[in-house]
Amino acid sequence: MIIAVSVMALGAILLGAALGYASIRFRVEGDPLVEKIDAILPQTQCGQCGFPGCRPYAEAISRGEADINQCPPGGEEGVRKLADLLGRDFKALSAEHGEEKAKSVAVIDEQSCIGCTLCIQACPVDAIVGAAKQMHTVVASLCTGCELCVPPCPVDCIHMEALRETAENWRWKYPVFQLEQAA
């Protein structure tokens, strides 16, 4: 009896020690769920979800404090992916956070730019080049279309331009199908 108990106790201690060691040795930095959610979010850092950026929103989702349909730039597709990842049901984008728009980029009207650098400070991805009292311009290939640079501009010279379809980004559309009526 005593032997049996002590064998079990010893086993428990050994396994416990092994587990304890493993939890230190193989510790995962950060929350893997947050990483996975963050990987789905579009990284515009626009704050339309009500959080100061994509990662804070990802954290809020993983804590269960935010719903999955608050990211307009991610669109329906993003909601679908989040629903898939979290095993939840798909729901439409919540209207209060805005609606899905065509992808666009910011364009600075270089005639009116006064070189105040306010837009540079607003851009989360450093997509604007310029210097104090010099003309600024947006590097279109880096711009995520978050619109954060639009309100700070004191002379209102930034506007958003929807991306045009070119032969480079064109793709086959979803087929329009027509089903024959069963008699």
Partner 1 sequence: MSLSTLFRFKGGIKPEAHKDASAGIPIAPAPLPSRLVIPLRQNARATARPLVEAGQRVLKGQIIGAAEGTLATAVHAPTSGLVRAVEMAPVPHPSGLEALCVIIEPDGDERWIDLQPFDHRNASPQRIRDYLRDCGIVGLGGANFPSHIKLTPGEAGIRTLILNGGECEPWITCDDRLMRERAERILGGALIMREITGASHILVGIEDNKPEAVQAMSAAASRLGAEGVTVHAVPALYPAGGEKQLIRVLTGVEIPYGKLGTHFGVQCFNVGTAYAIHRAITCGEPLLSRILTLTGNMARPGNFEVLIGTPIRELLPLADPRPDTDHFLMGGPMMGFALPSLSAPVVKATNCIIAASPALFPPPPPEMPCIRCGACAQVCPAELQPFELYWHARAKNLGKAQEYHVFDCIECGCCAYVCPSRIRLVDYFRYAKGEIWAREREKSAADAARERFEFRNLRTEREKQEKAERLAAKTAAGREAVARAAAAAPATASAPTAATVATASAPQPRAADATKALIQAALDRAKAQKAAVTPRNTDNLTAEQKAEIAEIEARRAKIREMARPHTPPDE
Burial of 128 (0-12, 13-18, 19+ CB in 10 A): buried
Interaction of residue 142 with partner 1, rule CB under 8 A: yes
Interaction of residue 64 with partner 1, rule CB under 8 A: no
Interaction of residue 145 with ligand SF4, rule CB under 6 A: yes
Joined together, the tokens standing for residue 142 give 């880096």
Interaction of residue 122 with partner 1, rule CB under 8 A: no
Site for ligand SF4 in 89-118 (CB under 6 A): 106
Nearer to ligand SF4, 23 or 121 (CB): 121
Check residue 128 and report its DSSP letter. Answer: E
Interaction of residue 148 with ligand SF4, rule CB under 6 A: yes
Interaction of residue 144 with partner 1, rule CB under 8 A: yes
Residue ranges that bind ligand SF4, judged by CB under 6 A: 106, 122-123, 125, 127-128, 138, 143-149
Chain residues that interact with partner 1, rule: CB under 8 A: 38, 41-45, 53-54, 77, 114, 124-127, 142, 144, 155-156, 165-175, 177-180
